[in-house]
Structure 1
Amino acid sequence: MMQLKKMAGVVGLLMLSLLTGSALAQTNAAAVKTIGYQTALAGEFRSLGAPTAGRVEITKNGKNYLLKISGLNTQPAPDLKVWLYKGDLAGASLNVQVPEKYLTLGTVKRFDGDFTFTIVGTDISNYSSVVLWCDQVKTAFGVAVLNEAN
């Protein structure tokens, strides 16, 4: 019931935004897309090769997953990639580049803020960490070990 009320409120705001031509339409369209997603896994970045902080959440809706990074703050680098990583990296070193162990989700163009990556057609049960990897210096800037969300 609560979820229906939230959806009705978001749809109402979206319709109002569209009618008035305001910039709220884009924000509310994104909110409509994430309704129904539930957080499955979460973790906090810890620094490895560069000062890195932020929160990671993987949410699920049916067969789709979204990886959300919130409050990322790390050192600038030219080719910073986000990996979903197989294996527990709680005691990881700087070089974790083992090709069969990771899935590249995308590249981070800014070094602070919030980011979302879509995970399609992947069984995430084999992955237990998220790595922020700098390809140029072959170093893991940070790692977030994923745990079941509460």
Structure 2
Amino acid sequence: MARELHKIFFNSKLQITLSELSEACEVSPSQIRYWEKKGYIKSIQGQKNKSHKYTIATLGTVMGIKYYLNQGFTLAVAYEKQNQRRGLFKCIKSFANGRIQNIEAKDQHYEIDLGSLDNMPDKRVVAIVDNNGDTKLILRDAE
């Protein structure tokens, strides 16, 4: 299951349409086109005169820009602030991509295997996430 999640969340080939991006971010299509024209975001256009597609990373960028615009920043400042925040997302992506070894559904919770400890290779860190979203970390003996 971990491999499937990696494909879903970390596959840069996932694409959405302008209308899907607009709906997901609650930003008008004309705003998105304007931001693209200004160079704040990029689209993918496979063939001439075909509709534009956007990556999941662009979705995050648009959501971030909108967040900062709603905070009262100008478009240029909102973009810069979002760009700075991008490093945090890369860090989280790298952590999840490198550490999530397996995910198992149990009766009342999920278990996410985060791999062995660097200084204790005989122990594995497991995150237990219950149906309410509460998480606890435990150590288990490596198998």
TM-score bracket, normalised by the shorter chain, equals: under 0.3
More strand by share: 1
Select the structure with the greater relative contact order (CA < 8 A; seq sep ≥ 6).
1
More helix by share: 2
